[in-house]
Amino acid sequence: MFPYLLRRILQMIPTLAGVILLVFFLFTYFGGDPAEILGGLQATPEQIESIRNQLGLNRPVWEQLWLFVTKVATFDWGRSWATNEAVSNIFATRLPATLTIMVPILVLEVGLAIVCGMAVAYVRGSLTDRAVMIISTVALSISFLVYVIIGQYVFAFRLGWFPVQGWSNSVWTNLAVYAPLPVLLAVLVSLAPHTRLYRSFFLDEIGHDYVRTARAKGVPENTILFKHVLRNAMIPILTNVATQLPGVFIGSFLIEVFFSIPGLGREVYTAVGRSDYPVIQAVTIYLAALTMVINLITDVLYKFVDPRVVLK
């Protein structure tokens, strides 16, 4: 196990270096002149030149690259160009709101999708199975914006169960008052595709020889599904969850924008509109690093889910 982890960590270093180089050159040569963006339309050539000196844009490319790598290593990206707020403070203050919304969404959608997928696979070929697949297909065809608009109108305006927008400094207040409606809508949207996907995972396992052998031995169907099929289907399910985890730390742009949640997703959305390079660069680099770490953890979890998996 340790040699595998060490080898994977060593492989992550050149990958992360490639991401850093790609981000640096994209923003340096294709992202526009930062001095002109900061100076605005009314800035004089002298003011723009002064900004270039302050940002180090007049230095050789290799010096600029070294400064960029230093920012990545020290977690010091300076201040936001739009708000003059420290980028580190943006992460510290916006990330809790995003996690308050996205972690419940991730837990609920995975848990409910596994249960629904298992239930539909259990009654495969029946009228219930066909009805669920038709409903899932229809749900997939509806835009998330429609869910948000209808959900806010019905549950907030008409029934008054939840506030339309808002946020507070209390985690428990946010979870009890402001988070339920966006969490409910997001889970409803994601449940249809995940149910179809997990159903296919379970049906694929049900068709294997070990399931037919277990049935021939008289093992109850419930035992086959929950003890054997579910465990073997966890590998593709873990893979699917791993692809979603990086998005948890960014959050859903639409959810945070429409429900006025001061999270990291809305901050990134605003930064893109303002060409706020320090925020965009920091999020891009750290999200890439986080994705590699999550992939490594997922590969290790494969071994615990299925002992037959050999880590090479």
CATH number at residue 166: 1.10.3720.10
Burial class (CB in 10 A: 0-12, 13-18, 19+), 145: exposed
Q: Tell me: do 144 and 241 sit in the same domain.
A: yes
On whether residue 86 sits in a domain, the answer given is: no
Q: Tell me: do 193 and 279 sit in the same domain.
A: yes
Q: Tell me: do 28 and 156 sit in the same domain.
A: no
> Which of 74, 109, 138 represents a domain boundary (last residue)?
74
In this structure, are residues 252 and 102 in contact, taking their beta carbons and an 8 Å threshold? yes
- Full residue range of the structural domain in which residue 293 is found: 96-305
Q: Tell me: do 171 and 283 sit in the same domain.
A: yes
How would you write the pLDDT of the chain (312 residues) with one tens digit per residue? 677 778 888 888 888 888 888 888 887 777 666 666 666 666 677 777 777 777 666 777 787 788 888 888 888 877 787 777 888 888 888 888 888 888 888 888 888 888 888 888 877 778 888 888 888 888 878 877 888 888 888 888 888 888 888 788 888 888 888 888 888 888 888 888 888 888 888 888 887 788 888 888 888 877 888 778 888 888 888 888 888 777 776 666 778 888 888 888 888 888 887 777 888 888 888 888 888 888 888 888 877 776 666 666
In this structure, are residues 82 and 270 in contact, taking their beta carbons and an 8 Å threshold? yes
On whether residue 273 sits in a domain, the answer given is: yes
Spatial separation of the C-alpha atoms in residues 257 and 236, rounded to whole Å: 32
**Token pair of 23 as six digits:** 């981000």
Q: Tell me: do 158 and 218 sit in the same domain.
A: yes
Q: Tell me: do 123 and 256 sit in the same domain.
A: yes
On whether residue 80 sits in a domain, the answer given is: no
On whether residue 311 sits in a domain, the answer given is: no
Q: Tell me: do 232 and 163 sit in the same domain.
A: yes
Q: Tell me: do 38 and 146 sit in the same domain.
A: no
pTM of the complete model: 0.79
- The residue written with tokens 């409606």 in the block is 181
Q: Tell me: do 154 and 58 sit in the same domain.
A: no
On whether residue 88 sits in a domain, the answer given is: no
Q: Tell me: do 221 and 275 sit in the same domain.
A: yes
pLDDT at 102: 85
pLDDT at 36: 67
Spatial separation of the C-alpha atoms in residues 113 and 170, rounded to whole Å: 30
pLDDT at 309: 65
Count of domains for the chain: 2
On whether residue 85 sits in a domain, the answer given is: no
